[in-house]
Amino acid sequence: MATIFSRIAAGEIPSYKVAEDDRFFAFLDINPVAPGHVLVIPKHEESYIFNLDDEEYAAFTLFAKRVAAALEKAMPCKRIGVCVIGLEVPHAHIHLVPLNSEADMDFRKPKLTLPDEQMKEIASRIAAEFK
Ligand code: AMP
């Protein structure tokens, strides 16, 4: 059965898309830990990031690097934080979070719910910077 993230990459479930190529897809986390929190996924379905073969893992992290560069331009911050959790959705993904302090990457805090208009505006700003 397809994961929710495969269905997002296939366009069957709506998302706030920020970047895409033929193999990878990036979109806003629906409940961000900080504004601009992005998830990067392979379109190919694999539940655990460290089960990707070496070639796909390398290509995946290079795609995430390009997304991080766009995110850094679009969302003023000190650094882009990177993490892998994967306890909730069984489809490999990398979290990218604009950081101004360590607390911005605290996943134990209550998550944010931003208005639809703000999510759209953030996603289009990041997408415009994606090269
Ligand atoms: P984890 O699997 O623990 O890395 O967490 C999965 C992340 O996916 C969480 O931060 C959720 O807020 C996020 N998430 C779950 N469903 C969606 C969705 N439909 N669109 C965007 N983000 C989602």
93 is catalytic: yes
What count of residues does the chain have?
A: 131
Q: Is the pLDDT of residue 1 over 80?
A: no
Alpha-carbon distances, residue 127 vs 19, 62, 107 (angstroms): 6, 17, 25
**Mean of pLDDT values over 27-51:** 97
Nearest CA-CA partner of 48 in 4, 1, 91: 91
Q: Both tokens of residue 99? A: 């950081």
Return the SS3 of 83.
strand
List alpha helices for 79-115, DSSP H: none
| Mean per-residue pLDDT of the chain | 97
Distance CA 104, CA 81 (A): 9
Identify the residue whose C-alpha is closest to ligand 1 atom 4.
Answer: 86
> Given 37, 44, 91, 93, which residue is catalytic?
93
CA of 29 to the centre of ligand 1 (A): 6
CA 117 and chain centroid, separation: 18
69-125 pLDDT per residue, tens: 999 999 999 999 999 999 999 999 999 999 999 999 999 999 999 999 999 999 999
Q: Is the dihedral of CA 110, 61, 67, 19 positive or negative?
A: negative
